[in-house]
């Protein structure tokens, strides 16, 4: 969260507390329980408003994901586009799934190549071995990359035809 927003939320919460204490003091001075209840209601409502604004209107802290399924063709290749905005590091979560009728009983080699579409700048170029996992699929891989340019990037995956689709989640 932005530190300036945090300061604003704290100041508003303190202001609500001070105003409710002043109203309560007036009720105590006049010995009026109705004013005291209004001070308590103002305090509860004010703090609820600060909490709700902070919780529901502040920017999201958790990472957001772009997800795509890459279909592996008969030649063992698959291509997909990954949009990149902002030059901060991202993580690829790669989950290979077996094709219909195939199983993941043996390791399979996979080559990843992530390049900027316009300039050809390489973000990832790696060769990995997919290790068999449970349930007919291979184990999930994690790859981190820091793009050098913004725009669409092309992810090219070359692997065995035993791999039917590869689910790719990109944190953006």
Q: The CATH number of the domain where 76 resides is what? A: 2.60.120.260
Structural domain harbouring 124: 65-171
Q: Are residues 18 and 84 in the same domain?
A: no
Supply the mean pLDDT for the chain: 83
Statement to judge: residues 33 and 112 lie in one domain = no
Question: Coil, helix or strand for 83?
Answer: strand
Sheet of 77-84, strands arranged across = 77-84, 151-158, 108-116, 122-130
Per residue in 12-68, pLDDT (tens digit) is 889 999 999 999 999 999 999 999 999 999 999 988 888 887 777 666 656 677 788
Both 75 and 28 in a single domain?
A: no
Same domain, 113 and 49: no
Q: Specify whether 51 is located in the same domain as 78.
A: no
Query: Same domain for 70 and 144?
Result: yes
- The pTM score is 0.59
Based on the domain organization, do 158 and 124 belong to the same domain? yes
Is 137's pLDDT higher than 70? yes
Q: Which of 12, 38, 57 is the last residue of a domain?
A: 57
Domain count, the chain: 2
Average pLDDT value for residue range 87-96: 86
81/138 same-domain check = yes
Residues 128 and 76 in one domain: yes
The answer to whether the CB of 84 falls within 8 A of the CB of 142 is: no
Rounded to whole angstroms, how far apart are CA atoms 77 and 53?
A: 48
* 162 and 104 part of one domain: yes
């Amino acid at each position: 969260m932005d530190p300036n927003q945090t300061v604003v939320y704290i100041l508003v919460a303190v202001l609500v507390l001070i105003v409710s204490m002043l109203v309560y003091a007036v009720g105590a001075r006049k010995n009026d329980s109705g004013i005291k209840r209004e001070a308590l209601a103002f305090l509860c409502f004010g703090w609820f408003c600060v909490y709700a604004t902070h919780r529901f209107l502040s920017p999201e802290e958790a990472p957001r994901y772009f997800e795509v399924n890459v279909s592996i063709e008969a030649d063992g290749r698959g291509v997909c586009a990954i949009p990149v905005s902002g030059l901060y590091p991202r993580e690829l979560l790669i989950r290979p799934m077996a094709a219909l009728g195939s199983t993941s009983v043996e390791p399979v080699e996979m080559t990843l190549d992530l390049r900027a579409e316009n300039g050809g700048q390489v973000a990832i170029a790696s060769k990995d071995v997919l290790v068999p996992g449970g349930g007919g699929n291979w184990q999930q891989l994690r790859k981190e990359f820091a793009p050098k340019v913004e725009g669409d990037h092309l992810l090219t995956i070359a692997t065995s035809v035993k791999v039917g689709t590869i689910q790719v989640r990109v944190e953006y």
